A and B are shown apart, each in its own frame.
Chain A
Amino acid sequence: MSTLDIGGSHLDTSWFLVLSAILFTLGTVGVLIRRNPLVILISIELMLNAANLALVTFSRQLQNIDGQLFALMSMTVAAAEAVVGLAILVDIFRTRDAEDVDDLSELRG
């Protein structure tokens, strides 16, 4: 069992990973069960950040900077995605009163 040195105190790596898994699951469940588009976007951010946490954890664990760089990259993508997603949402709210993603089902087959 390996540990990480965080500001002098030592914590077991698995704690970070468990936290990451919990956050990811919360995000997934949020995307699946919430209906407000804004909350869904937030849940997606949560999933991304859970992944970032796992990346950084392994980077530290393996003494390899790649993971942290990838986390940075992922944050950039998340920011861009939030911009596009929010822009779409704003546009949808302008044209109609859609508080429920189930109302946005025009592409039904």
Chain B
Amino acid sequence: MSNQTLALLILVFPAAGALLLAGRGWRLPRIFTVLVGPGVVWASFVCVLALFAGKASGDFTYWTWIKSGSFDVPFNILIDNLSIFMCLVITGVGGLIVSYSVGYMEHEDDPSYGRFFCYMDVFIFSMLLLVLAGNFVFLIVGWALVGLSSYLLIGFWYQRHSAVVAARKAFVMNVIGDVGMILGTFVLFTQYHAVTYAKVFDALPCANGRSCIGGDQTLELAAFLLLIGAVAKSAQLPLHTWLPDAMEGPTPVSALIHAATMVTAGVYLVGRTHPIFDLAPYAHGAVAIIGAVTALFAATIAIVQVDIKRVLAYSTMSQIGYMFLAVGIGAYSAGFFHLLSHAFFKALLFLAAGNIIHAMHDEQDMRKYGGLWNQMRPTSIAFLVGSLSLVGVIPFVGFFSKEQILGLAFARGDLLSGSVWVIGALTALLTGFYTGRMWWLAFWGKPSPQRPVEHPHEAPPVMLVPVAILAVLAAVGGLLETRALGFGTSAVTDFLASVVGPQRWEESLPVVAIGLVTMILATALFYGAMRIRPWSSRVPWAQRLLERKYYFDDIYDGVFVRPLDRVAAFLQRDIEQPVIDAAVVDTGYLARWSAAELSLTQSGYFRNYVLVFVVGVVAIAGVLLLVRALT
């Protein structure tokens, strides 16, 4: 099979699976859903593996989608090492998550069960379209479809009011980002008259060895607009409020959104359009600053959360912040390595948390767990591996990726990267603390008296196997990228070098040492979280500030939502009802009244009609005679 066909098949499988399940697929035996739902994702995974093994690359054009004057949009798939890398993460980790859902969602009735896997396949398809698109238009299509499918999945339990509200919030936030993306594409099109990556990047001022100077106003504008899209999709400040609420969805959905797809789209976008960001220093700097601030911001909130999924949600925001930080300072491959490592350990954490929530009958408050270590040993071990990886304990994968980001930020050595390094290092310590708090609270100590289940059951094999695979990956994935420590390989950096360029600067030995010390301190905090209480509990106002999430939701509520509600209420009460509604209703009344009056003339009496007829004839004749007499 040619690479061109394989590339298209990656997209065709999940789309076909979604269509099969969207029909009346659920009326067939449940085994059909079980096979089709995860099966199509694995089929895509095989296609990606084939392309990966064949070292495929190329820009395959299939057909012209829109052609209008100079506006020419082909449907083309860009296969290069970056898109293959992303596809491996999406279909590989995504496949594990979808397979896990077979067990997690088993209590749903048949229509919901089929609907769930249909949405999951749509989600995978959208994300694959997003990373495979070879032009900005299809990027936007995939971008918007990801927003749509996240809306569907977050609001999956649509009987719950809170789920519907959360889904709507996620959708609105994402649409803000979509608008930024679309405007950014407009700017690029007006400047370069092309929408394919190849043509746009070719036309950039510095392409093809042309000499250039940075600071192009138009490029800055385009980069900032694209950044809005990235920020909304990746839940960075200030468009982050949807992500914690997205926990209303089923746990596998959270895993999919947080680990394999969606939130990483922003990192992918910055990496994919790095020729633009490289020429737009202000926008590029903004990426790093937003990432660093979000990382710290989310980590502080995570300290006081009591819902296990919310802690994980804020840690996702924090880790995505690291990726933004990395791509923002130009350490692209470090950012993507952290994306990979985060996909492993965050999927692991969410799925392991799913096992616990499943066993605890949907209780998510960590304070009501306690003592799970002795009762759910396999899940506990998996969760511990994920936690240690998140903290960055040697030798788990998180250590290597986080150390690389911090090391490169430190090594670059200008003011910007220096300050983001400080924030990043601080965040790494906080990560150790809140992860430790979560771990000790949920798994150690005595079972909480408020626990809903006295003797929880360990999850079935269909849920444990994906968790186990991810645990292994999170434990040994770091071997992919160990060169900073002076041995082994740098597989990810080498693999992505053809797209984002080689690593532009190296970590020196002292830098690595500082990274090691930071991570060891974080590990110590992880352990110490068993004993120390957060300082915030001694400072009531700080505690309240964190529990209210820095009042972001309240501010958005006060600035946007409530004024809008009030305007809407005013329009309804004072414009809609007395003016528009009244006009419509009164038109109806007019017709009814006039009909009632006019129907009196229809007496049904023959003589009346004749009389009118005669009078009419006489009157007409009279008028005619009168006219004749007068003229």
Q: B600 contacts which of A33, A101, A104, A109 (Cβ < 8 Å)? A: A109
Residue of A nearest to B614 (CB): A28
Q: Across the interface, do B610 and A31 meet the contact criterion of CB distance under 8 Å?
A: yes
Q: Across the interface, do B602 and A109 meet the contact criterion of CB distance under 8 Å?
A: yes
How many Å lie between the Cα of A101 and that of B606 in the bound state? Answer: 7
How many Å lie between the Cα of A107 and that of B606 in the bound state? Answer: 10
A95 contacts the other chain (CB 8 A): no
Q: Across the interface, do A32 and B614 meet the contact criterion of CB distance under 8 Å?
A: yes
How many Å lie between the Cα of A109 and that of B609 in the bound state? Answer: 13
How many Å lie between the Cα of A102 and that of B600 in the bound state? Answer: 16
Interface of B is mostly: helix
Closest chain B CB from A29 CB (angstroms):
10
Q: Across the interface, do A107 and B611 meet the contact criterion of CB distance under 8 Å?
A: no
Closest chain B CB from A65 CB (angstroms):
27
Size category, B interface: 10 to 19
Known contacts A28-B614, A32-B614; is-contact A107 B604 (Cβ 8 Å): yes
Q: Across the interface, do B605 and A102 meet the contact criterion of CB distance under 8 Å?
A: yes
A106 contacts the other chain (CB 8 A): yes
A9 neighbours in B (Cβ, 8 Å) = none
B107 contacts the other chain (CB 8 A): no
Cβ proximity bits B573-608 to A, threshold 8 Å, 1 near / 0 not:
000000000000000000000000011111111110
Closest chain A CB from B362 CB (angstroms):
66
Residue of B nearest to A101 (CB): B606
B605 neighbours in A (Cβ, 8 Å) = 101-102, 105, 108
B602 neighbours in A (Cβ, 8 Å) = 107-109
Q: Across the interface, do B610 and A32 meet the contact criterion of CB distance under 8 Å?
A: yes
B604 neighbours in A (Cβ, 8 Å) = 104-109
Residue of A nearest to B603 (CB): A108
A32 neighbours in B (Cβ, 8 Å) = 607, 610-611, 614
B607 neighbours in A (Cβ, 8 Å) = 31-33, 101-102
Cβ proximity bits A83-109 to B, threshold 8 Å, 1 near / 0 not:
000000000000000000110111111
How many Å lie between the Cα of A31 and that of B617 in the bound state? Answer: 15
How many Å lie between the Cα of A30 and that of B611 in the bound state? Answer: 12
How many Å lie between the Cα of A31 and that of B606 in the bound state? Answer: 9
A108 neighbours in B (Cβ, 8 Å) = 602-605
A102 neighbours in B (Cβ, 8 Å) = 605-607
B611 neighbours in A (Cβ, 8 Å) = 32
Known contacts A32-B607, A104-B606; is-contact A109 B599 (Cβ 8 Å): yes
Q: Across the interface, do A109 and B601 meet the contact criterion of CB distance under 8 Å?
A: yes
How many Å lie between the Cα of A108 and that of B608 in the bound state? Answer: 11
Closest chain A CB from B349 CB (angstroms):
77
Other contacts beyond A104-B606, A105-B605, A105-B606: 10, CB < 8 A? A28-B614, A31-B607, A31-B610, A101-B605, A101-B606, A101-B607, A102-B607, A104-B604, A109-B598, A109-B602
A-to-B contact residues, CB < 8 Å: 28, 31-33, 40, 101-102, 104-109
Q: What are 17 A-B contacts defined by CB distance under 8 Å?
A: A28-B614, A32-B610, A32-B611, A33-B607, A101-B605, A101-B606, A102-B607, A104-B604, A105-B603, A105-B604, A105-B606, A108-B602, A108-B603, A108-B604, A109-B602, A109-B603, A109-B604
